[in-house]
Amino acid sequence: MRADARRNRDRVMSIARALFEQHGPSVEMDEIARQAGVGVGTIYRQFPTKEALMQAVLASHIERVTIAARELAAAPDAGKAFFDLLARIASEFLVKGSLHLAMARAGLTVPEPTEERAEFERALGALLVRAQKAGAVRRGVTAPEVIMLARGALFPSDAHDIPTAMRRRMFEIVCNGLRTRPRR
């Protein structure tokens, strides 16, 4: 992709993410194009449908966490790095989850971004193992388990309308449960 095409794509994604976050899946492609300062044709060349754009936005939340994990991979305090990543996971996934839910309510489904998810799991796993070796995280727990626990705390099944504060409180309990030296 050429540099200016990539810049346009990044702008579109960033505007789309913000608009979807604020207004849900009803946002028009025209409005995204207008705010991103590009023609709507430019968007459609990269994202043939709004669903494709939404799918890219959902995947981008995972990618951002993966990037954060890689940035934290060499941090001096391995325990702090892992729990900083978990905090980032909560923030990104809460936004991603509410878009996902709004899409489901609008009858839209997108496939799970399998590749991005595998990358994310690998990056998380590296930080997890480092934090376990440093004695900050309980041994025996694996990256897929951390992800399942995080999802379960943030998005309990059969409870779609609970407040964000409750989701965060449950997530905090999971984080606490992973620590070998819990904070009161």
Q: Which of 28, 39, 145, 164 binds a second copy (CB under 8 A)?
A: 145
Identify the three-state secondary structure at position 75.
coil
Which of 104, 143, 115 lies closest to 56 in space, CA to CA? 115
Q: What CA–CA distance (Å, rounded) separates 33 from 46?
A: 12
3-state secondary structure of 137: strand
Which residue in the set 12, 53, 131, 178 belongs to the binding site for a second copy (CB under 8 A)?
Answer: 178
By the rule CB under 8 A, 140 interacts with a second copy: yes
Residue from 13, 90, 128, 149 touching a second copy (CB under 8 A): that is 149
Q: Which of 45, 104, 148, 160 binds a second copy (CB under 8 A)?
A: 148
Give the whole-angstrom CA distance, residue 93 versus residue 155.
9
Among 3, 74, 159, 163, binds a second copy (CB under 8 A): 159
Number of neighbouring beta carbons within 10 Å of residue 48 = 10
Q: Per rule CB under 8 A, is residue 109 in the interface with a second copy?
A: no
Q: What is the secondary structure of 156-182 as a DSSP string?
A: -TT--S--HHHHHHHHHHHHHHHBSS-
Q: How far is the CB of 35 from a second copy (least distance, A)?
A: 34
Q: Which is nearer to a second copy, 37 or 177 (CB)?
A: 177
Which one of the spans 36-44, 63-71, 96-104, 151-159 is the region binding a second copy (CB under 8 A)? 151-159
- Of 50 and 100, CB closest to a second copy: 100
Smallest distance from the beta carbon of 2 to a second copy, in angstroms? Answer: 38
Cβ-Cβ contacts under 8 Å for 144 (sequence gap 6 or more): 121
CA–CA separation, 128 and 137 (whole Å): 7
Site for a second copy, rule CB under 8 A: 138, 140-141, 145, 148-149, 151-153, 155-157, 159, 162, 166, 169-170, 172-180, 182, 184
